[in-house]
Amino acid sequence: MHMLTLAEISRALSAKEFSAEELTRVLLTRIAQVDPQLNSFITVTEAQAIEQAKAADQRRAQGETGALLGAPIAHKDLFCTQGVRTSCGSKMLDNFIAPYNATVVQKLADAGVVSLGKLNMDEFAMGSANESSHYGPVRNPWDTSRIPGGSSGGSAAAVAARLVPAATGTDTGGSIRQPAALTNLTGLKPTYGRISRWGMIAYASSLDQGGMLARNAEDCALLLQAMAGFDPKDSTSVDQPVDDYLASLEKPLAGLRIGLPKEYFGEGLDSRIADLTLKAVEELKKLGATVKEISLPNMQHAIPAYYVIAPAEASSNLSRYDGVRFGYRCEDPADLTDLYKRSRAEGFGDEVRRRIMVGTYALSAGYYDAYYLKAQRIRRLIKNDFMAAFNEVDVILGPTTPSVAWKLGEKNNDPVAEYLMDIYTITANLAGVPGLSMPAGFVDGLPVGVQLLAPYFQEGRLLNIAHQYQKATDWHTKAPTGFLE
Amino acid sequence: MASDTLMKRVGKIAADSNNGRDFGQGSDVLDCSFLWPFMAFLNAVLDRSRAVTRLSALFYGQADFLENLMALERSDVEKIAHLARLGLNEADIERTTGTLNDILGLIDHMQAVNTDHVEPLAHPLEAVQRLRPDEVTETNQRDAYQTIAPAVENGLFLVPKVIE
């Protein structure tokens, strides 16, 4: 049962092959057995899950249908879940029981989705390895001595190990696409504003976007259909109709124009990943696509600009954690300043403190123009690159990551080295365009992902291409052996 | 440099395109000149991982970087920590000073980019702040919200005495 995809589960539930409750119990048992090796869950919500599954079965018995009715998933632990701890991977929020549901959580619950729990992540979504979590690192099911990627590392590991068929994630600089690539999953970061950020704990508000990690494009489409849409509670949500993503999956690829940015294939990229990326291109050409070299000349400026914008926004967003109204408070504060300073120093981990410091400096008097405004100008150059490229091609294709999953602890003392690993994913967040990573093969037994980028609101096109590719290939069906029994 | 096989395969793909040029020929593979100083700095100072060594291979060559770096002093770090209300101890400040300088070294390479006449971009879709009618839309949930507060009394949040 645990090997089924979301779409297969949906069909089996409607054919009454098993009930949502039966499936939920099977998955909960597996999580209890397998997850100690991976540490992908922070909180397993067993009682609520069974309650939700029973409710879904009841709704179905009353004649209700719906693709996700009774389908199990789990949420990255930065989506607020009413009555359930929402830690954001931080000691700061270890005692935070969310008083409301995030819009994404509510929409999925309304669709009858059963949530099995809350998934591990880098603290406040700051990281590319899932090693900055207060709850310990997550291990990659393909090799438990390696990282699963981050910040949605728990989401990636749980889905890859078949503990749950799909999971929500968020992507500020690659945090859905990179872990999806490193664990052989399909992950989608939609257009900025496509999915509501309300109830999603903020990291960098002009870059954050919710999305999902799943076993294939079809499952991503099922989830996106339920998650996308305008939300008046999110001031940056975009009021634009939601496409029929499932219907667009079957469109033939004939005439599709793919652009390969030369900047994505330079030195620094593992040549075996380059080979696999080009093999995926060959496959898409067989399906009718044409290919052309393009250039995104400002790509190289993305990392410096990102490491101004994201920390600046984070330093502002995280100023709310002051030990007064919720979250961690230090013992015996001497005065109010001591309360603030020690609560924040003790409640935040190294990487979070580091980014708050960088952001505070960048926004401090006299530096705003040189840092934040400069970074925003570069951001426009990067957006302009994409707009120019999309005049020539329909989608852009390249590797998702420059290397396969690295060893736990390998980059612990070197934050800048870890930052450089996001080189291919960060531009999509700065420009706000949608991006998808899909499995494209293996290097030394470790998964490799290929990234597709499309113009604003063309998530349907990305899912269409990935789905057609997945009909012609079987990389996405490979599962890590130790976790299947 | 990438393998010959890769070049042939990429060349083949590029040849199929309308105005295809070969990838990665000569020196214009990837213009990351902005990173040269930074990578040289990394090479000189940091204990690098294998992946960074791979990345940095491209960026060797220029070492006149140090004069561009406006290194933060310990006192700057103390000031920033105070602005951010982060109580860093001695060891933290020492460590943080080094790491922040590494990060700022990376960031400073933005300054080499010409952004004259380029407007800053705040929202990818240029959306403006949406307004709503000034109406009460939320109900009072003070009791519910205070159940997760560190210290409350009579509906108030408690903090250490502010006025002596």
Nearest residue on chain A to B110, judged by CA atoms? A304
SS3 A116: strand
Which H helix or E strand runs over A155? helix A153-160
Residue A285 falls within a domain, yes or no?
A: no
Q: Within 10 A of A46 (CB to CB), how many other CB atoms are there? A: 16
Helices (H), A173-301: 177-182, 217-227, 245-248, 271-286
Last residue of a domain, one of A235, A256, A277: A256
CA distance A298 to chain B (A): 9
Which H helix or E strand runs over A341? helix A336-347
Q: Of A353, A374, A419, which is closest to B86 when you measure between CB atoms?
A: A353
Instruction: List pLDDT tens digits, range A430-444.
Output: 999 999 999 999 999
- Do A228 and A349 lie in one domain? The reply is no
Residue A232 falls within a domain, yes or no?
A: yes
The answer to whether the Cβ–Cβ distance between A344 and B81 falls below 8 Å is no
Examine the pLDDT at B70 and tell me if it is beyond 80: no
Is residue A343 within 8 A of residue A322, CB to CB? The reply is yes
Tell me what the mean pLDDT of segment A328-334 comes to. Answer: 96
Residue B84 falls within a domain, yes or no?
A: yes
Examine the pLDDT at B48 and tell me if it is beyond 80: no
- Do B46 and B77 lie in one domain? The reply is no
Last residue of a domain, one of B65, B93, B120: B65
Answer yes or no: A151 catalytic.
yes
DSSP, res A369: I
Answer yes or no: A155 catalytic.
no
Examine the pLDDT at B124 and tell me if it is beyond 70: yes
Answer yes or no: A343 catalytic.
no
Residue B58 falls within a domain, yes or no?
A: yes
Residue A383 sits at the vertex; the CA angle it makes with A382 and A387, to the nearest 5 degrees, is: 120
> Which residues on neighbouring strands pair with residue A449, listed in sequence order?
A439
Residue A108 has a pLDDT of: 98
CA distance A423 to A72: 33
- Do B59 and B91 lie in one domain? The reply is no
Nearest residue on chain B to A235, judged by CA atoms? B130
Examine the pLDDT at A58 and tell me if it is beyond 90: yes
- Do B39 and B53 lie in one domain? The reply is yes
- Do A159 and A35 lie in one domain? The reply is yes
Residues from chain A contacting residue B6 (CB–CB below 8 Å)? 271, 274-275, 278
**A56: contact with B, CB 8 A cutoff:** no
- Do A247 and A319 lie in one domain? The reply is no
Residue type, B113: V
| Structural domain count of chain A | 2
Q: Which one from A19, A87, A175, A343 is the annotated catalytic residue?
A: A175
- Do B60 and B32 lie in one domain? The reply is yes
| Structural domain count of chain B | 2
Q: Of A235, A356, A417, which is closest to B130 when you measure between CB atoms?
A: A235
Average pLDDT, chain A: 97
Residues from chain B contacting residue A358 (CB–CB below 8 Å)? 100, 103-104, 107
Q: Which two tokens stand for residue A397?
A: 């294709």
Short-list B12, B32, B63, B103, CA closest to A267: B32
B16 confidence band (pLDDT: 50, 70, 90): very low
CATH number of the domain at A98, please: 3.90.1300.10
- Do A252 and A307 lie in one domain? The reply is no
Residue B105 falls within a domain, yes or no?
A: yes
Residue B4 falls within a domain, yes or no?
A: no
- Do B106 and B74 lie in one domain? The reply is yes
Q: Which one from A10, A40, A76, A315 is the annotated catalytic residue?
A: A76
Residues from chain A contacting residue B19 (CB–CB below 8 Å)? 292-293
Is residue A75 within 8 A of residue A33, CB to CB? The reply is no
Nearest residue on chain A to B162, judged by CA atoms? A336
Residue A100 falls within a domain, yes or no?
A: yes
- Do B80 and B51 lie in one domain? The reply is no
Residue A334 falls within a domain, yes or no?
A: yes
- Do A119 and A229 lie in one domain? The reply is yes
Short-list A78, A114, A157, CA closest to A6: A114
Instruction: Give the domain range for residue B32.
Output: 28-65
Tell me what the mean pLDDT of segment A197-208 comes to. Answer: 97
CA distance A270 to chain B (A): 8
Alpha carbon distances (Å) from B118 to A382, A383, B112, B114? 11, 12, 14, 9
Q: Of B127, B157, B162, which is closest to A325 when you measure between CB atoms?
A: B157
Instruction: Give the domain range for residue A350.
Output: 303-375
Would you say how long chain A is, in residues? 485
